[in-house]
Structure formats: C-alpha cells, structure tokens
Amino acid sequence: MEKCFNTRVKEAMAAVPSVTAHQAMQLKEERRDLLFLDPRNQDDITATTGIIPGAISLPLDQLESARDERLSDRQQTIITACQGGPMGALAAHTLKQQGFNHVYYIDGGTQGWLDAGYPTER
C-alpha cells in the first residue's frame, strides 16, 4: 500500500535536515557548488511565489528518473524549496536516497525565502 502524502512528508522531514532562508543564503554565499532546486512544475512556480534566482526547476515526479547534467556530482550541496516546504522535503529526501550527501530543504519553502526579504524570479 502506498503511503499518503503527509506520511511521506513527515518521513522526509525526519530524514533530511532543514535550513532557514537565512542559512540557505549564507550557504549560497559560501559555496560555489551550491544548487537550488525547485520541485514544482513551471505553472505552479509562476502562479505563486516565483523561484529562487539561479534555481533549477525539476518537478518532483520527474526527479527520480531525471538524468540532468546539473545533478551529476553527488558531493555538491543542494537546497530544495517548493512554495511552502513539503515538496521541497520530499525532493531532498529523493536526492538523499539517490546518493547525494549534502542535501537540505528550506523550512517554509520559497515563501519563507520571500518572508526573509530575499527576491525570487517569475
């Protein structure tokens, strides 16, 4: 039996560390290999909060099978963010299961990023 969305999110949040928007910005300034990833589809991104500048959009349902060249280095630091956090946690957990070692999700998602005073792109 497949787990419900909320159960999957709870497990993901327990398995992957979160960072605040301020911590994410600090990591962005410190690490050249940092990649932001937004697991929403493009329509959801533009209809809501926008996307963190420089982030790639790779929908959650495509993340498991994605062969994206930007996701080739398992040692790079990746921070995921959706609109509010849950899908970001799921994406980070998926990446961790794929062998990425430095994966985080933004607590509060892109909305938390905006609330902290950081810009997004539409």
**Residue 37's domain spans which residues?**
5-115
pTM: 0.94
Q: E strands of 1-122, at which residues?
A: 18-19, 35-38, 56-57, 77-80, 102-106
- With respect to residue 23, please indicate whether it lies within any of the assigned structural domains: yes
- pLDDT (tens digit per residue) in 4-56: 989 999 999 999 999 999 999 999 999 888 999 999 999 999 999 999 999 99
Q: Indicate the number of domains in the chain.
A: 1
Asked if the model's pLDDT at residue 85 lies above 70, the reply is yes
Decide: 52 and 118 in contact? Cβ < 8 Å: yes
- With respect to residue 20, please indicate whether it lies within any of the assigned structural domains: yes
